Structure 1
């Protein structure tokens, strides 16, 4: 065997056959990362900027997050201004032209769904509102499935070699979410009203026809007054509210006080699940449903 052949054989043994390059995806939030991973499968690598249970409005802009963005082929965000306070500076630091807004490498989930809660004539007296609409769309599994289908098309645009695989995975994922929704919906046909910390769970409550009759925050980001809390406690008692829904990052003294005075159960509703990929997102939605159903 010649020296060249021996060298080639040695290299083949040391470095097994290299597969095609992965699509590098960065998602802003854990649930979005799970949707992206469900679609990308083995053809992509997904990094997530925020942690499970972290307020999506306030994510510390660490250098490690900018490094993830610097090597990304696609950035997947919720949109509607949810990440506006921390994502743009990270994009600037990353200096990755491929993932800037208005490019094929930047994808907002809200751009492909029917948005709820858009408001006209917004000013600061209304609190920290999102005038373009409520950005918490991933709490609705049907909108999650719609985003997955659209995301597959965007992956296919960037990585056409694996286009069929992305679309097939998205279709399977969407089918599972539709099936799960159909199974759970009848359980809430006579749902009792609930009170929420604010409008984060609107997409979820409307999908499953769960009436929300009040909010602990009178306006987004505005601390409730004693008069507001007194009124809310009266509403809880009058309407037979059994559950107070709060995000993991709002499980504080005000919410506990309302629960104590009203007798309703205080439920910390998940915003994501630690398990990665499609199973993580599906388990997360099931956790929400189980809590809402009192299981």
Structure 2
């Protein structure tokens, strides 16, 4: 493993995941009201819960597991104590999350830090065991739609992917077969979920409530399948130089993942306060807000990385982790 070389595909995937996460997070942050039945807003709401909710955080969580493995492996290869550095790293992440959660209830960083501590003993475990154990655990937790507990097996599968070095030498044929399989399973899963999609809101009917709950539960259960298809498709597209260039801003976006994730909350809350959006915005209008934030953050990420090696929050995170001031300029 090259100790200094970044694995570009992981940055593309992080950026891609972040773009989906904000579409879901903006709803509770701005207290978006329930859409009127049979409206365009209602159709977009169903689109979010069929194709976005539970799909992109899954990719982001899986990537955290890969990053966990790469971080410790490279630190050990440099003659440092990878375990100590990682513990310091997730301690900083936890503190950042504690601040962030005051503004964004339900945010992921504190959960990631705790889950990183849980999977630490698996770093030296056999890669086959990690793959099988992670897969079985994810399967059963998905069956019961226990979203928060699915973080641990997703990270563990990320560790296994790091051990197999999948993203350092991507097998094209296997990736294509995997992506097609996930597509077919995803189509079946989404079709099943769509069958239970609610047709109206605001009625206190027990049948409608049970149907809506079933709709959400199925969405959580099939999330990893749809996420795997999304990730596989992006990996295949990036085999072509055309898509590498076209999507290059996504790579910069992913390199500043922590900075951009936190700033998404900052932008949403600032704009919400400035324009009195809390409880006064529709789901479709929130999409326009997200598109504006995309443009700002993508441009910022590309320009920033022309002059600096790390994002501002990443630089601070790295400085505290290593207890030294890393060079910031390119």
Specify the TM-score bucket, using the shorter chain as the normaliser.
Answer: under 0.3
* Larger strand percent: 1
* Larger helix percent: 2
Greater Cα radius of gyration, structure 1 or 2: 1
Structure having greater relative contact order (Cα 8 Å, sep ≥ 6): 2
TM value normalised by structure 2 = 0.24
TM value normalised by structure 1 = 0.26
